[in-house]
Amino acid sequence: DAGVIQSPRHEVTEMGQEVTLRCKPISGHDYLFWYRQTMMRGLELLIYFNNNVPIDDSGMPEDRFSAKMPNASFSTLKIQPSEPRDSAVYFCASSLSGEQYFGPGTRLTVT
Amino acid sequence: AQSVTQLDSQVPVFEEAPVELRCNYSSSVSVYLFWYVQYPNQGLQLLLKYLSGSTLVKGINGFEAEFNKSQTSFHLRKPSVHISDTAEYFCAGTSGTYKYIFGTGTRLKVLA
């Protein structure tokens, strides 16, 4: 299996622009997670889905962040408008039986 | 409260020496425990997991961990480290849901 796929791997954008991060989970996995990693705050869970339905979005920092999972093989995390403090590495992970498998991450830089 | 505590932010160790990375957990996250490794500019990779059964868990790359219920610990060990083990290591736990509680990470630096 190809593992969890994320795109783009790097994104540089200007403050105020919309950013969309993409994730393809491992085929057959029914849980999908979005995390954010920064030096200051470490690894934070933003939101997770089960069978394409959002279960817990309590980690989403504010209304500028939104996530969707239109089908079992695709999810997006959108930031609109982006701000410099959103600069971080965003990870997607998927799970079937408890252990989570992480993608390589998207490094977002907002200038 | 649910918590996973990694007691050391950085651990330097010489090549071929043994290492122990410490992790303590609150009882509410003791159902399942995990160790992940993150190499520079990469995602997290599962090293090993404890779900039930034997308290000594063996993982990849020669790592092992011991679940100690009385001390609420799940320390990671390797008898002889290599330069390639230099990475950040994360301990995580869950109370049975799919929502992990991660520790803050321990940066292992192996010195030649």
Chain A, nearest residue to B46 by Cα = A101
Which residues of chain A register pLDDT less than 70?
1
pLDDT at A20 (0 to 100): 98
**Cβ–Cβ gap A98/B32 under 8 Å:** yes
Q: What residues have CB less than 8 Å from A106, skipping those under 6 apart? A: A6, A7, A8, A9, A10, A11, A21, A89, A90, A91
- B9 contact A CB<8A: no
- A93 contact B CB<8A: yes
Question: Rounded CA gap, A16 and B105, in Å?
Answer: 32
Which residues sit opposite A67 in a β-bridge?
A77
Structure confidence at residue B97 as a pLDDT band (50, 70, 90): confident
- B32 contact A CB<8A: yes
Q: Name residues 43-102 of chain B within 8 A of A (Cβ).
A: 43-46, 49, 51, 90, 94, 98-100, 102
pLDDT at A26 (0 to 100): 96
How long is chain B? 112
Question: Rounded CA gap, A111 and A86, in Å?
Answer: 10
Neighbours of A85 (CB within 10 A): 11
**Cβ–Cβ gap A43/B102 under 8 Å:** yes
For residue B38, give how far its alpha carbon lies from the nearest alpha carbon of chain A (Å).
10
**pLDDT higher than 70, residue B48:** yes
**Cβ–Cβ gap B105/A43 under 8 Å:** yes
pLDDT at B58 (0 to 100): 95
pLDDT at B53 (0 to 100): 84
Residue B85 phi, psi (nearest 5): -80, -5
Four-CA torsion B47, B52, B53, B56, nearest 10 degrees: 30
Structure confidence at residue B1 as a pLDDT band (50, 70, 90): low
